[in-house]
Amino acid sequence: MSRSIHRLFSSSAVLAVLLAFGVLAAGCAGTPAAIADIRYDLGPPNPVASAGTLPPVKVLDVSAPDTLESDKLIYRLSYADAQQTASYANSHWTMAPSQLLTQRLRGALSSRGTVLTGADGVRAPVLKVELSEFEQVFDSQSESHGAVTARATLTQSGKVIGQRTFIARAPSSSADAAGGAQALAAASDDLVAQISAWLGVQALVAAQ
């Protein structure tokens, strides 16, 4: 009787091990390959046509609503429901769009003069940019464009000396995340060029 019990337990143990191994093997075989998360930035900066030098300007960090303060690459299906937005699951920005635009703007303006930040104690005109739109807009299932909108406010000695809303659009090379990132980079460069040109015609006075 004891031998039978021993054989029974031994067989059960072996069977349990085999079943466990089979389940694990099946689980590994059935696990889908991980999809890589692709990260995009705005690419190499494009030279901004110089319209003369500028006095030192404080360029504050670009601000944005909460929806644009993340690394999500947002798109909108305007041909289906223009009031809804979504984001790509496996494609993101390297940082929030507001940060990418801050870098782009400061880099472009630094070619025309000294660019300061809000942390600098130097007295100088202050440029504040508020980003309100930064998304890939699908006009149809096969066509889309990058859309960037921002409002710039220029102040000096606490007084507003200029304010304007800038809108930039650029076609996508493909109807996917890669095409959206490319179009938004082009639209961002257009926006930066517009702001740079606008600053060039403002009555900026170098701080004494």
CA distance 72 to 100: 13
- On whether both 19 and 49 belong to a single domain, the answer is no
- On whether both 7 and 42 belong to a single domain, the answer is no
For residue 208, tell me if it sits in a domain.
no
- Which single residue is written with the structure tokens 């930064």? 134
For residue 171, tell me if it sits in a domain.
yes
pLDDT tens for residues 24-77? 333 333 334 456 899 999 999 877 666 678 899 999 999 999 999 999 999 999
pTM for the model stands at 0.80
- On whether both 108 and 169 belong to a single domain, the answer is yes
Domain total of the chain: 2
CA distance 164 to 182: 25
pLDDT tens for residues 116-169? 998 777 889 999 999 999 999 999 999 999 999 999 999 998 899 999 999 999
For 118, left (φ over 0), alpha (ψ -120 to 50), or beta? Answer: alpha
- Which structural domain, as residue segments, surrounds residue 139? 38-200
- On whether both 27 and 44 belong to a single domain, the answer is no
Contact (CB, 8 A) for 87 and 37: no
